[in-house]
Structure 1
Amino acid sequence: MKMSSIFRALAVFSLLLISALSSQAQSTRCGTLTGRLLDASTHEAIPNTTIVLLRASDNALVSTATTRADGSFRVANVPFGQYCFRTTVLGYRAQQPRVAFHAKQTSVALGTLALQPLGTQLAAVLASPQGLLAVAR
């Protein structure tokens, strides 16, 4: 009876050890991407913006993140490979740098990405019951 409890304890310990090693090995095959979005004109943070990571080979969505109040973001557990980082912020030109994660580069820091605002002039269309009157810029 004593021997069977020793074997059971050994089996449980072995399973826990294998599980821990497996999760550690899996986490070492993933990378982390960090950075910060700022307005290039005002140098203010761009908060609450969704950024996406797409697989470079087929543009499949891999991960998303939202920028914090200070414009920073962090994407963790990105499988090794090559990716396109995309920002699509209304009123700014899109940023699309490529990033790669591999055994020697598990962490990529994009640093501060200064997004260029699109033109500040808005077109106004004046309309009347008779139709389009003018376009002002």
Structure 2
Amino acid sequence: MTGSVEQGTSQTHGNTHLLHFLVRLPRPMEAVWPAFATPEGLAAWFTPADVLEPRLGGAVTLRGTGSGQITAWDVDRVAEYTVGEGGRIRFHLERDGAEACVLRFTREFRGEGESEAEWRSRFERLLDTESPSP
């Protein structure tokens, strides 16, 4: 089974932008979780986490994105970071059989600066780092 970035949508409401993606990953949730919940994992495909206190209410600083706190934390399932001026990044994993999972991703931000194409590229990089060894 190979991974894929299946859906990407973008919505704008006034000055607030919402990006949603559905990404199929060919690995179990437990193997994928560190990519969203550890500094090393985030740096491998997205951006360095200069601060990451892995717990609800913990501090987080994502380079180039902003500082804030962890507003949802369910180990192996959900990590949500509220950063910058009202920005939010949510990673929600669901099982897809015994050997795969689905990421439901949401990015909310105000102003300009991020695009659906940039996130699609990041998820392609994630798929490259998460590909199982032959």
TM-score range, shorter chain: under 0.3
Normalising by structure 1, what TM-score? 0.25
Normalising by structure 2, what TM-score? 0.26
* Larger RCO (alpha carbons 8 Å, 6+ apart): 2
Greater gyration radius? 1
